[in-house]
């Protein structure tokens, strides 16, 4: 009888400790997400600072690269916080409004590190070293997590809706000296193959075949602007995110073609 009582006491204690562990994990996870969100809010404040009263034209010219187009992002300031920042992406109609980073030695560093380089479940919007930082490659791929609170690339899933797709077709990318404008032409579910390794963009015929396959996508979950003419000579921006926690075999991508490069 005593042994049974001891067993139930131990079992209850184990259950209490397990519940306490789960609560701690959830609280720690949620706090991490809130810290990540605050980090990005802080860097946005630094990136889009308003001009101080009395600042002279000479002072502004000495602080930033000379560009014919107005760049609203203060790269000089935010690169002091993280030199890996090389661009800023904004997708009107979504929550995508973030710095873009690329690590010099580890392509997967920003998969689980925030803009402050600390461990982070949300990670960053990042590219791999296979892509140049000036967005001149035939296809540039940017990666971001599909966060449940729609941060990072979570809100890209809005493009699953045809009406939303039709109404929100523009992507802006800023670098220290350029403003790039893209027009979205496709949003669909695809496999998890590494696009930069599987699509031979250096071979015009192979790249054209890939683009033709994209435009002929007839999946029910795909939104494709078949009136847009895409050629192998175009420069494509692909935003890639995951489908869900239990689906590692597929990705959701939003693709756009460069229509304007101002500098």
Q: Which domains does the chain have, with CATH numbers?
A: 46-262 (2.40.260.10)
Output the average pLDDT for the chain: 86
Q: What is the pTM of this model?
A: 0.81
Looking at residue 22, its pLDDT comes to: 44
> CA angle at residue 63 from 43 to 124, to 5 degrees?
25
SS3 193: coil
Per-residue pLDDT band for 67 (boundaries 50, 70, 90) equals low
**Residue 107 burial (CB < 10 Å; 0-12/13-18/19+)?**
middle
Q: Are 146 and 177 in contact (CB under 8 A)?
A: no
**Residue 207 burial (CB < 10 Å; 0-12/13-18/19+)?**
buried
pLDDT per position as a tens digit, 98-116? 999 999 999 999 999 999 9
Looking at residue 59, its pLDDT comes to: 45
Query: Would you state the structure tokens that stand for residue 141, as one six-digit string?
Result: 């791929």
Sequence-separated (6 or more) residues with CB below 8 Å from residue 130: 107, 196, 197
**Residue 10 confidence (pLDDT) above 70:** no
- Comparing CA positions, the residue from 81, 188, 74, 66 lying closest to residue 124 is 81
Q: What share of the chain is helix, strand, coil (3-state, %, to 5)?
A: 35, 25, 40
pLDDT per position as a tens digit, 188-236? 999 999 999 999 999 999 999 999 999 999 999 899 999 999 999 999 9
Q: What is the Cα–Cα distance from 82 to 78, expressed in whole angstroms?
A: 6
- Comparing CA positions, the residue from 223, 177, 230, 240 lying closest to residue 201 is 230
Q: What is the Cα–Cα distance from 161 to 91, expressed in whole angstroms?
A: 16
- Comparing CA positions, the residue from 240, 245, 93, 256 lying closest to residue 161 is 93
**Residue 68 confidence (pLDDT) above 90:** no
Looking at residue 176, its pLDDT comes to: 97
Per-residue pLDDT band for 48 (boundaries 50, 70, 90) equals confident
Taken in order 241, 131, 98, 227, the sign of the CA dihedral is negative
Pairing verdict, β 139-143 and 236-244: parallel
């Amino acid at each position: 009888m005593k042994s049974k009582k001891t067993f139930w006491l131990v079992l209850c204690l184990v259950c209490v400790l397990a519940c306490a562990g789960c609560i701690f994990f959830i609280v720690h996870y949620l706090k991490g997400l809130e810290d990540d969100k605050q980090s990005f809010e802080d860097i946005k404040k630094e990136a889009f600072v308003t001009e101080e009263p009395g600042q002279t034209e000479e002072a502004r010219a000495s602080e930033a690269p000379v560009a014919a187009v107005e760049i609203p992002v203060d790269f000089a300031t935010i690169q002091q916080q993280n030199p890996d920042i090389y661009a800023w992406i904004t997708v009107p109609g979504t929550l995508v409004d973030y710095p873009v980073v690329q690590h010099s030695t580890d392509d997967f560093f920003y998969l689980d590190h925030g803009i402050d380089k600390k461990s982070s479940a949300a990670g960053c919007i990042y590219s791999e070293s296979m892509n140049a930082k000036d967005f001149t490659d035939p296809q540039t791929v940017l990666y971001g997590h599909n966060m449940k609170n729609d941060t990072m690339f979570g809100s890209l899933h809005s493009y699953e809706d045809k009406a939303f797709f039709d109404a929100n077709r523009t992507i802006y990318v800023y670098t220290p000296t350029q403003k790039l404008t893209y027009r979205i032409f496709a949003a669909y579910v695809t496999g998890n193959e590494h696009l930069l390794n599987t699509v031979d963009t250096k071979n015009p015929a192979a790249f054209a075949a890939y683009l033709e396959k994209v435009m002929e996508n007839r999946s029910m979950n795909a939104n494709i602007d078949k009136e847009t003419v895409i050629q192998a000579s175009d420069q494509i921006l692909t935003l890639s995110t995951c489908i869900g926690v239990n689906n590692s075999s597929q990705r959701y991508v939003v693709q756009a073609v460069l229509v304007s490069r101002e500098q």
